[in-house]
């Protein structure tokens, strides 16, 4: 998306601010709860590479060249492309990660089908995202109404919708963790560091591990 080229540095610098920095650390910890051991992995929608770097994921794909430049500076092997048409051979990876990117995909089902194709048998798709069930989705939707350049392009899915799309793409949800149990805001550091097993709609960030069904 061109909008990410335009706002690449602003997007990346968000993670340096008090809220962004503390939320990032908590989100990484939550993702680690649902990620199984892996050998070869890919992040789709890698952005500026912060999550891939923190989680030891060497390959990243993104449609934004400006964000990929930042990812490459963090040691990620960045590839330009779209989630709906991955430029990788089938059965290549044992883990595909998608963090805060599903809401920007044009065709989430197609993106999940492509993840299925490039995953090895018994591979995992791991998602980190905001769901529409959460009060945090309303917070970001309000920003979109006020003309936020990035959130105005986002579409949030409910846990039920997400589970259904994953099932259509032949994935089975295996584990879910939830964190960010606070009133929505984006200025002050996160105080509540709790990570809960399962889906809790009052949370703000959800981590989902889904296994490829052969």
Which pLDDT score is estimated for 7?
59
- pTM for this model (two decimals): 0.94
Q: Mean pLDDT for each 10-residue chunk of the chain (214 residues)?
A: 62 85 96 95 96 98 93 97 97 97 94 98 97 93 78 87 98 98 94 97 97 93
Strand 195-197 with 205-212, pairing: unpaired
* C-alpha distance from residue 57 to each of 60, 78, 173 (Å): 8, 11, 21
Q: Any residues with CB less than 8 A from the CB of 137 and at least 6 apart, and which?
A: 130, 131, 156
Residue 52, φ and ψ in degrees, nearest 5: -60, -45
pLDDT of amino acid 147: 79
DSSP three-state, residue 76? coil
What's the pLDDT score for residue 140? 87
d(CA 22, CA 103): 22
pLDDT score recorded for residue 1: 52
Catalogue all structural domains in the chain, each as residue range(s) with its CATH number: 2-212 (3.40.50.150)
Q: How many CB atoms sit inside 10 A of residue 14's CB?
A: 17
Tokens of 69: 């430049």
H or E element at residue 115:
helix 108-118
Q: What is the pLDDT of residue 29?
A: 98
What pLDDT is stored for residue 143 in this prediction?
82
Half-sphere exposure of 159 (CA within 13 A, CB side): 19
pLDDT value of residue 210? 98
Q: What is the structure's pLDDT at 10?
A: 76
β-pair partners for 127: 98, 208
Residue with tokens 């069904």: 213
Nearest to 113 by CA among 24, 32, 57, 44: 44
Q: What is the pLDDT of residue 154?
A: 85
Q: Going by C-beta distance under 8 Å and a sequence separation of 6 or more, which residues neighbour residue 100? A: 45, 47, 128, 129, 130
């Amino acid at each position: 998306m061109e909008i990410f080229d335009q706002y690449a540095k602003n997007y990346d610098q968000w993670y340096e601010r008090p809220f962004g920095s503390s939320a990032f650390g908590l989100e990484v910890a939550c993702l680690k709860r649902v990620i199984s051991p892996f050998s070869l992995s890919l992040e789709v929608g890698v952005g500026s590479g912060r999550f891939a770097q923190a989680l030891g994921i060497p390959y990243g794909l993104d449609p934004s060249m400006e964000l990929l430049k930042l990812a490459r500076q963090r040691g990620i092997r960045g590839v330009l492309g779209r989630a709906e048409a991955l430029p990788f051979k089938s059965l290549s990876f044992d883990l595909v990660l998608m963090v805060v990117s599903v809401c920007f995909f044009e065709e989430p089902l197609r993106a999940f089908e492509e993840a299925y194709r490039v995953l090895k048998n018994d591979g995992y798709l791991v998602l980190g995202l905001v769901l529409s069930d959460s009060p945090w989705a309303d917070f970001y939707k309000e920003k979109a109404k006020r003309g936020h350049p990035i959130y105005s392009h986002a579409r949030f899915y409910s846990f039920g919708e997400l589970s259904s799309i994953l099932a259509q793409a032949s994935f089975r949800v295996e584990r879910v963790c939830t964190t960010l149990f606070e009133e929505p805001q984006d200025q002050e550091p996160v105080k509540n560091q709790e990570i809960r097993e399962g889906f809790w709609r009052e949370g703000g960030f959800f981590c989902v591990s889904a296994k490829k069904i052969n």
